[in-house]
Structure 1
Amino acid sequence: MKKLEIACFNSESALIAQQGGADRIEFCANLKEGGTTPDFKTIKKLLPEIRVDLYVMIRPRGGNFEYSEEEFQQMKAEIREFKTIGVNGFVFGILNHDKSINLQQNTELVELAKPLPCTFHRAFDQVQDVFLSLEKVIQCGFSTVLTSGTMPNVVEGITVLKQLVAKADNRITIMPGGGLRSSNIRLVKEQTRAGFYHSSAITDGSETANPEEVKALKANLNG
Protein backbone atom coordinates (compact mmCIF):
# COMPACT_ATOMS: atom_id res chain seq x y z
CA MET A 1 0.00 0.00 0.00
CA LYS A 2 1.43 3.37 -1.06
CA LYS A 3 1.31 6.12 1.56
CA LEU A 4 0.47 9.83 1.48
CA GLU A 5 1.90 12.69 3.54
CA ILE A 6 0.15 16.06 3.55
CA ALA A 7 2.10 19.26 4.31
CA CYS A 8 -0.08 21.33 6.62
CA PHE A 9 0.31 24.99 7.54
CA ASN A 10 -2.56 25.25 10.02
CA SER A 11 -4.58 23.00 12.33
CA GLU A 12 -7.59 22.99 9.98
CA SER A 13 -5.45 21.43 7.23
CA ALA A 14 -4.17 18.76 9.61
CA LEU A 15 -7.70 17.69 10.47
CA ILE A 16 -8.71 17.78 6.78
CA ALA A 17 -5.68 15.65 5.90
CA GLN A 18 -6.52 13.09 8.57
CA GLN A 19 -10.16 12.91 7.56
CA GLY A 20 -9.21 12.55 3.88
CA GLY A 21 -7.08 9.48 4.52
CA ALA A 22 -3.57 10.90 4.79
CA ASP A 23 -1.09 8.52 6.40
CA ARG A 24 1.09 11.27 7.83
CA ILE A 25 1.08 15.01 8.44
CA GLU A 26 4.09 17.31 8.02
CA PHE A 27 3.30 20.41 10.04
CA CYS A 28 5.02 23.72 9.21
CA ALA A 29 4.50 27.45 9.54
CA ASN A 30 5.02 30.10 6.84
CA LEU A 31 3.95 28.63 3.52
CA LYS A 32 5.42 31.61 1.66
CA GLU A 33 8.85 30.81 3.13
CA GLY A 34 8.56 27.17 2.09
CA GLY A 35 7.90 26.03 5.65
CA THR A 36 9.48 26.91 8.99
CA THR A 37 9.20 25.60 12.56
CA PRO A 38 5.57 25.84 13.73
CA ASP A 39 4.36 27.31 16.99
CA PHE A 40 4.84 24.92 19.93
CA LYS A 41 1.49 25.77 21.54
CA THR A 42 -0.37 25.14 18.26
CA ILE A 43 1.08 21.64 18.00
CA LYS A 44 0.49 20.85 21.67
CA LYS A 45 -3.17 21.84 21.32
CA LEU A 46 -3.60 19.92 18.05
CA LEU A 47 -1.93 16.62 18.96
CA PRO A 48 -4.81 15.11 21.01
CA GLU A 49 -7.03 15.35 17.90
CA ILE A 50 -4.54 13.66 15.55
CA ARG A 51 -4.47 9.88 15.20
CA VAL A 52 -2.00 9.63 12.31
CA ASP A 53 1.73 10.37 12.55
CA LEU A 54 2.62 14.04 12.80
CA TYR A 55 6.11 15.22 11.84
CA VAL A 56 7.26 18.74 12.71
CA MET A 57 9.38 20.97 10.46
CA ILE A 58 12.51 22.24 12.19
CA ARG A 59 13.68 25.28 10.23
CA PRO A 60 14.47 28.57 11.97
CA ARG A 61 13.87 30.80 8.93
CA GLY A 62 13.25 30.89 5.21
CA GLY A 63 16.04 31.38 2.70
CA ASN A 64 19.07 29.14 2.37
CA PHE A 65 19.82 26.00 4.35
CA GLU A 66 23.16 27.00 5.83
CA TYR A 67 22.73 27.96 9.46
CA SER A 68 24.70 29.94 12.02
CA GLU A 69 25.74 28.32 15.30
CA GLU A 70 22.97 30.26 17.05
CA GLU A 71 20.37 28.97 14.57
CA PHE A 72 21.72 25.43 14.92
CA GLN A 73 21.37 25.60 18.71
CA GLN A 74 17.80 26.87 18.20
CA MET A 75 17.03 23.82 16.04
CA LYS A 76 18.36 21.52 18.76
CA ALA A 77 16.27 23.26 21.41
CA GLU A 78 13.13 22.94 19.25
CA ILE A 79 13.67 19.20 18.74
CA ARG A 80 14.08 18.70 22.49
CA GLU A 81 10.93 20.70 23.21
CA PHE A 82 8.71 18.97 20.62
CA LYS A 83 9.87 15.55 21.79
CA THR A 84 8.30 16.24 25.18
CA ILE A 85 4.76 16.42 23.75
CA GLY A 86 4.76 13.29 21.63
CA VAL A 87 5.23 14.29 18.01
CA ASN A 88 6.16 11.35 15.76
CA GLY A 89 9.12 12.68 13.80
CA PHE A 90 11.00 15.68 12.44
CA VAL A 91 11.72 17.29 9.07
CA PHE A 92 14.88 19.34 8.47
CA GLY A 93 17.96 19.62 6.27
CA ILE A 94 21.25 21.47 6.57
CA LEU A 95 23.63 22.22 3.70
CA ASN A 96 27.19 23.50 3.61
CA HIS A 97 28.07 26.72 1.77
CA ASP A 98 28.86 24.70 -1.39
CA LYS A 99 25.38 23.07 -1.27
CA SER A 100 26.75 19.72 -0.09
CA ILE A 101 25.14 17.84 2.82
CA ASN A 102 26.37 19.03 6.24
CA LEU A 103 27.23 15.66 7.73
CA GLN A 104 28.11 16.83 11.22
CA GLN A 105 25.11 19.03 11.96
CA ASN A 106 22.53 16.75 10.34
CA THR A 107 23.89 13.70 12.15
CA GLU A 108 23.80 15.58 15.45
CA LEU A 109 20.14 16.49 14.98
CA VAL A 110 19.18 12.96 13.87
CA GLU A 111 20.89 11.55 16.98
CA LEU A 112 19.11 14.11 19.17
CA ALA A 113 15.74 13.19 17.62
CA LYS A 114 16.13 9.47 18.33
CA PRO A 115 14.17 7.28 18.63
CA LEU A 116 11.98 9.45 16.39
CA PRO A 117 12.59 9.28 12.60
CA CYS A 118 13.71 12.25 10.52
CA THR A 119 13.00 13.37 6.95
CA PHE A 120 15.57 15.36 4.96
CA HIS A 121 13.44 18.01 3.25
CA ARG A 122 13.69 19.72 -0.13
CA ALA A 123 17.01 21.36 0.66
CA PHE A 124 18.04 18.15 -1.10
CA ASP A 125 16.87 19.67 -4.40
CA GLN A 126 19.66 22.27 -4.22
CA VAL A 127 22.57 19.82 -4.04
CA GLN A 128 25.13 19.56 -6.86
CA ASP A 129 25.78 15.81 -6.84
CA VAL A 130 22.43 14.15 -6.24
CA PHE A 131 23.57 10.55 -5.85
CA LEU A 132 26.57 11.35 -3.62
CA SER A 133 24.20 13.50 -1.55
CA LEU A 134 21.80 10.57 -1.22
CA GLU A 135 24.61 8.46 0.28
CA LYS A 136 25.45 11.25 2.71
CA VAL A 137 21.83 11.64 3.81
CA ILE A 138 21.71 7.89 4.45
CA GLN A 139 24.98 8.17 6.37
CA CYS A 140 23.43 10.86 8.62
CA GLY A 141 20.69 8.42 9.63
CA PHE A 142 17.61 9.95 7.99
CA SER A 143 14.69 7.63 7.28
CA THR A 144 13.22 9.64 4.37
CA VAL A 145 14.22 12.13 1.67
CA LEU A 146 11.58 14.57 0.39
CA THR A 147 12.53 15.58 -3.14
CA SER A 148 11.22 16.70 -6.52
CA GLY A 149 14.20 15.02 -8.16
CA THR A 150 16.16 18.33 -8.06
CA MET A 151 13.75 19.84 -10.59
CA PRO A 152 11.03 22.51 -10.09
CA ASN A 153 8.38 19.79 -9.72
CA VAL A 154 7.99 16.01 -9.53
CA VAL A 155 6.90 15.58 -13.14
CA GLU A 156 10.04 17.29 -14.47
CA GLY A 157 12.12 15.37 -11.93
CA ILE A 158 10.53 12.00 -12.62
CA THR A 159 13.63 10.43 -14.21
CA VAL A 160 15.88 11.43 -11.30
CA LEU A 161 13.25 10.29 -8.81
CA LYS A 162 13.13 6.88 -10.47
CA GLN A 163 16.94 6.65 -10.26
CA LEU A 164 16.92 7.73 -6.61
CA VAL A 165 14.40 5.03 -5.68
CA ALA A 166 16.59 2.43 -7.42
CA LYS A 167 19.81 3.65 -5.80
CA ALA A 168 18.21 3.94 -2.36
CA ASP A 169 17.46 0.20 -2.60
CA ASN A 170 15.22 0.27 0.49
CA ARG A 171 17.96 1.82 2.66
CA ILE A 172 15.94 5.03 2.88
CA THR A 173 12.48 6.12 1.67
CA ILE A 174 12.43 8.43 -1.36
CA MET A 175 9.29 10.58 -1.07
CA PRO A 176 8.36 12.52 -4.23
CA GLY A 177 7.01 15.98 -3.43
CA GLY A 178 6.81 19.37 -5.11
CA GLY A 179 3.91 20.07 -7.46
CA LEU A 180 2.36 16.67 -6.69
CA ARG A 181 -1.38 16.67 -7.32
CA SER A 182 -4.20 14.19 -7.82
CA SER A 183 -3.86 14.85 -11.56
CA ASN A 184 -0.26 13.56 -11.73
CA ILE A 185 0.22 11.27 -8.73
CA ARG A 186 -0.67 8.16 -10.72
CA LEU A 187 1.99 8.95 -13.33
CA VAL A 188 4.62 9.64 -10.66
CA LYS A 189 3.71 6.43 -8.84
CA GLU A 190 3.91 4.31 -12.00
CA GLN A 191 7.23 5.80 -13.10
CA THR A 192 9.07 5.99 -9.75
CA ARG A 193 7.53 3.14 -7.72
CA ALA A 194 8.20 5.14 -4.56
CA GLY A 195 6.47 4.10 -1.35
CA PHE A 196 5.55 7.51 0.12
CA TYR A 197 4.22 10.66 -1.61
CA HIS A 198 3.97 14.27 -0.40
CA SER A 199 1.55 17.07 -1.30
CA SER A 200 0.07 20.17 0.33
CA ALA A 201 -3.27 19.44 -1.40
CA ILE A 202 -3.75 23.22 -1.65
CA THR A 203 -5.58 24.09 -4.87
CA ASP A 204 -6.90 27.64 -4.38
CA GLY A 205 -3.93 29.78 -3.41
CA SER A 206 -4.85 29.67 0.28
CA GLU A 207 -2.86 27.99 3.06
CA THR A 208 -5.45 25.29 3.70
CA ALA A 209 -5.70 21.81 2.19
CA ASN A 210 -8.64 21.06 -0.10
CA PRO A 211 -10.62 18.11 1.39
CA GLU A 212 -11.57 16.78 -2.06
CA GLU A 213 -7.96 16.99 -3.28
CA VAL A 214 -6.73 14.97 -0.29
CA LYS A 215 -9.31 12.28 -1.02
CA ALA A 216 -8.46 12.31 -4.75
CA LEU A 217 -4.72 12.04 -4.04
CA LYS A 218 -5.36 9.03 -1.81
CA ALA A 219 -7.76 7.42 -4.28
CA ASN A 220 -5.45 7.87 -7.27
CA LEU A 221 -2.47 6.64 -5.25
CA ASN A 222 -4.07 3.34 -4.35
CA GLY A 223 -6.71 3.05 -7.07
Structure 2
Amino acid sequence: MRLFASLRPPAEVLEHLAHALDGVAPGSLDAGPPPLRWVPPEQRHVTLAFYGEVPDGALEDLAETLGAVTASTAPLQVQLAGAGVFSGATLWVGVRVVDGDERALTRLMGRVEAAGEDISRLEPRDRHRAHLTVARLSARAQRERSDRRRRSGRGDRRPGRGPAVDLPAVAHALSVYRGPEWTAREVELVESHLGAGRSGGPLHEVRARLPLTGEQA
Protein backbone atom coordinates (compact mmCIF):
# COMPACT_ATOMS: atom_id res chain seq x y z
CA MET A 1 0.00 0.00 0.00
CA ARG A 2 1.04 3.58 -0.68
CA LEU A 3 1.07 5.62 2.55
CA PHE A 4 1.70 9.15 3.77
CA ALA A 5 1.11 11.12 6.98
CA SER A 6 -0.50 14.54 7.00
CA LEU A 7 -2.32 17.33 8.80
CA ARG A 8 -5.75 18.16 7.39
CA PRO A 9 -6.86 21.80 7.55
CA PRO A 10 -10.49 22.33 8.64
CA ALA A 11 -13.17 23.11 6.07
CA GLU A 12 -13.21 26.86 6.74
CA VAL A 13 -9.45 27.08 6.14
CA LEU A 14 -9.73 25.19 2.84
CA GLU A 15 -12.67 27.37 1.77
CA HIS A 16 -10.68 30.53 2.48
CA LEU A 17 -7.80 29.15 0.40
CA ALA A 18 -10.15 28.22 -2.44
CA HIS A 19 -11.33 31.82 -2.72
CA ALA A 20 -7.71 33.00 -2.91
CA LEU A 21 -6.90 30.46 -5.62
CA ASP A 22 -9.94 31.53 -7.65
CA GLY A 23 -8.37 34.98 -7.85
CA VAL A 24 -5.11 33.78 -9.39
CA ALA A 25 -6.20 30.76 -11.45
CA PRO A 26 -5.08 31.15 -15.08
CA GLY A 27 -7.42 30.16 -17.87
CA SER A 28 -6.64 28.21 -21.01
CA LEU A 29 -5.25 30.26 -23.90
CA ASP A 30 -7.18 28.25 -26.48
CA ALA A 31 -9.79 25.53 -26.73
CA GLY A 32 -7.42 23.00 -25.19
CA PRO A 33 -7.37 21.71 -21.62
CA PRO A 34 -6.51 24.12 -18.79
CA PRO A 35 -2.77 24.53 -18.11
CA LEU A 36 -3.04 23.58 -14.44
CA ARG A 37 -4.48 20.50 -12.73
CA TRP A 38 -5.88 21.69 -9.41
CA VAL A 39 -5.81 19.33 -6.44
CA PRO A 40 -9.45 18.67 -5.42
CA PRO A 41 -10.31 20.49 -2.16
CA GLU A 42 -11.06 17.23 -0.35
CA GLN A 43 -7.50 16.05 -1.05
CA ARG A 44 -5.67 19.19 0.08
CA HIS A 45 -3.50 18.36 3.07
CA VAL A 46 -0.21 19.32 4.70
CA THR A 47 2.23 16.51 3.98
CA LEU A 48 4.33 15.51 6.99
CA ALA A 49 5.99 12.42 5.52
CA PHE A 50 5.60 10.26 2.42
CA TYR A 51 6.46 6.59 2.91
CA GLY A 52 5.82 5.33 -0.61
CA GLU A 53 4.91 1.69 -1.19
CA VAL A 54 5.05 -0.32 2.05
CA PRO A 55 4.02 -3.93 2.86
CA ASP A 56 0.33 -4.41 3.64
CA GLY A 57 1.13 -5.83 7.05
CA ALA A 58 3.13 -2.77 8.10
CA LEU A 59 0.12 -0.51 8.63
CA GLU A 60 -0.60 -1.50 12.22
CA ASP A 61 3.03 -1.21 13.32
CA LEU A 62 3.43 2.17 11.61
CA ALA A 63 0.25 3.49 13.21
CA GLU A 64 1.50 2.36 16.62
CA THR A 65 4.88 4.05 16.12
CA LEU A 66 3.24 7.23 14.89
CA GLY A 67 0.91 7.15 17.87
CA ALA A 68 3.90 7.30 20.20
CA VAL A 69 5.17 10.35 18.29
CA THR A 70 1.86 12.19 18.41
CA ALA A 71 1.26 11.33 22.06
CA SER A 72 4.41 13.26 22.94
CA THR A 73 3.68 16.20 20.64
CA ALA A 74 1.47 19.12 21.63
CA PRO A 75 -1.22 20.50 19.29
CA LEU A 76 0.11 23.16 16.94
CA GLN A 77 -1.38 26.56 16.16
CA VAL A 78 -0.71 26.93 12.44
CA GLN A 79 -1.62 28.98 9.39
CA LEU A 80 -1.35 28.66 5.60
CA ALA A 81 0.99 31.41 4.44
CA GLY A 82 2.96 32.25 1.30
CA ALA A 83 3.51 30.10 -1.77
CA GLY A 84 6.15 28.71 -4.08
CA VAL A 85 6.94 26.29 -6.90
CA PHE A 86 8.69 22.92 -6.80
CA SER A 87 10.64 21.79 -9.90
CA GLY A 88 8.94 24.42 -12.05
CA ALA A 89 5.76 22.32 -12.19
CA THR A 90 4.11 22.11 -8.75
CA LEU A 91 2.41 25.03 -7.01
CA TRP A 92 2.29 24.90 -3.22
CA VAL A 93 1.10 27.04 -0.31
CA GLY A 94 3.29 27.17 2.79
CA VAL A 95 2.46 26.44 6.42
CA ARG A 96 3.82 28.20 9.49
CA VAL A 97 3.49 27.91 13.24
CA VAL A 98 1.74 30.89 14.85
CA ASP A 99 2.62 32.20 18.32
CA GLY A 100 4.95 29.37 19.21
CA ASP A 101 8.16 27.56 18.41
CA GLU A 102 8.61 28.09 14.68
CA ARG A 103 10.59 24.85 14.37
CA ALA A 104 7.97 22.70 16.11
CA LEU A 105 6.39 21.71 12.81
CA THR A 106 9.76 20.87 11.25
CA ARG A 107 10.62 18.67 14.23
CA LEU A 108 7.26 16.90 13.95
CA MET A 109 7.90 16.24 10.25
CA GLY A 110 11.28 14.73 11.06
CA ARG A 111 9.89 12.46 13.77
CA VAL A 112 6.93 11.38 11.61
CA GLU A 113 9.29 10.55 8.75
CA ALA A 114 11.62 8.62 11.09
CA ALA A 115 8.66 6.54 12.27
CA GLY A 116 8.62 4.83 8.88
CA GLU A 117 12.35 4.29 8.45
CA ASP A 118 12.07 0.52 9.03
CA ILE A 119 9.40 0.00 6.37
CA SER A 120 9.86 2.76 3.80
CA ARG A 121 12.19 2.24 0.85
CA LEU A 122 12.52 5.98 0.31
CA GLU A 123 15.65 7.87 1.28
CA PRO A 124 15.18 10.35 4.18
CA ARG A 125 15.08 13.98 3.10
CA ASP A 126 17.73 16.38 4.35
CA ARG A 127 15.38 19.36 4.32
CA HIS A 128 11.74 19.76 5.22
CA ARG A 129 9.34 22.39 3.95
CA ALA A 130 5.82 22.16 5.30
CA HIS A 131 3.46 22.76 2.41
CA LEU A 132 0.07 22.06 0.89
CA THR A 133 0.15 21.23 -2.83
CA VAL A 134 -2.60 23.04 -4.73
CA ALA A 135 -1.85 22.52 -8.43
CA ARG A 136 0.46 20.93 -11.00
CA LEU A 137 1.16 21.76 -14.61
CA SER A 138 -0.98 19.70 -16.94
CA ALA A 139 0.72 17.05 -19.08
CA ARG A 140 0.32 19.30 -22.12
CA ALA A 141 1.85 22.29 -20.35
CA GLN A 142 4.79 20.18 -19.17
CA ARG A 143 5.40 18.91 -22.72
CA GLU A 144 5.39 22.47 -24.05
CA ARG A 145 7.76 23.51 -21.27
CA SER A 146 10.15 20.67 -22.15
CA ASP A 147 9.98 21.54 -25.86
CA ARG A 148 10.91 25.16 -25.16
CA ARG A 149 13.86 24.03 -23.04
CA ARG A 150 15.13 21.71 -25.78
CA ARG A 151 14.82 24.42 -28.41
CA SER A 152 16.58 26.92 -26.17
CA GLY A 153 19.38 24.42 -25.54
CA ARG A 154 19.93 24.09 -29.29
CA GLY A 155 20.08 27.83 -29.66
CA ASP A 156 16.81 27.89 -31.61
CA ARG A 157 15.52 31.45 -31.40
CA ARG A 158 12.58 31.08 -33.76
CA PRO A 159 9.41 32.65 -32.36
CA GLY A 160 7.12 30.13 -30.79
CA ARG A 161 4.17 29.85 -28.55
CA GLY A 162 4.59 31.42 -25.11
CA PRO A 163 4.22 29.45 -21.89
CA ALA A 164 0.76 28.08 -21.16
CA VAL A 165 0.99 29.48 -17.63
CA ASP A 166 3.58 31.47 -15.70
CA LEU A 167 3.64 29.37 -12.56
CA PRO A 168 6.22 31.53 -10.72
CA ALA A 169 3.97 34.53 -11.34
CA VAL A 170 1.03 32.68 -9.80
CA ALA A 171 3.19 31.81 -6.78
CA HIS A 172 4.29 35.44 -6.52
CA ALA A 173 0.64 36.56 -6.47
CA LEU A 174 0.02 34.12 -3.61
CA SER A 175 3.18 35.07 -1.70
CA VAL A 176 1.23 37.55 0.46
CA TYR A 177 -1.53 35.06 1.24
CA ARG A 178 -2.35 34.49 4.91
CA GLY A 179 -5.11 32.09 5.81
CA PRO A 180 -7.10 31.70 9.02
CA GLU A 181 -5.26 30.21 11.97
CA TRP A 182 -6.27 26.77 13.23
CA THR A 183 -5.16 24.26 15.84
CA ALA A 184 -3.78 21.02 14.39
CA ARG A 185 -4.86 18.33 16.86
CA GLU A 186 -4.20 15.08 15.01
CA VAL A 187 -2.06 13.41 12.36
CA GLU A 188 -3.74 11.31 9.69
CA LEU A 189 -2.14 8.18 8.26
CA VAL A 190 -3.49 7.98 4.71
CA GLU A 191 -3.47 5.35 1.99
CA SER A 192 -3.32 6.68 -1.57
CA HIS A 193 -5.08 4.61 -4.24
CA LEU A 194 -3.57 5.76 -7.55
CA GLY A 195 -6.02 6.26 -10.41
CA ALA A 196 -9.09 5.58 -8.25
CA GLY A 197 -10.13 9.19 -7.64
CA ARG A 198 -11.72 12.02 -9.58
CA SER A 199 -10.65 12.26 -13.25
CA GLY A 200 -8.20 9.42 -12.81
CA GLY A 201 -6.39 11.03 -9.89
CA PRO A 202 -5.58 9.35 -6.56
CA LEU A 203 -8.19 8.48 -3.96
CA HIS A 204 -7.14 9.12 -0.36
CA GLU A 205 -8.37 6.83 2.42
CA VAL A 206 -7.64 7.72 6.05
CA ARG A 207 -6.41 4.56 7.78
CA ALA A 208 -5.63 6.01 11.22
CA ARG A 209 -6.17 9.26 13.14
CA LEU A 210 -3.50 9.90 15.76
CA PRO A 211 -4.17 12.75 18.22
CA LEU A 212 -1.51 15.25 19.24
CA THR A 213 -1.81 15.03 23.04
CA GLY A 214 1.59 16.11 24.38
CA GLU A 215 1.99 18.94 26.84
CA GLN A 216 2.64 22.47 25.64
CA ALA A 217 6.26 23.61 26.14
What TM-score do you get using the length of structure 1 for normalisation? 0.21
Larger relative contact order, structure 1 or 2 (CA cutoff 8 Å, min sep 6): 2
In proportion to residue count, which structure has more helix?
Answer: 1
TM-score by length of 2: 0.21
* Greater Cα radius of gyration, structure 1 or 2: 2
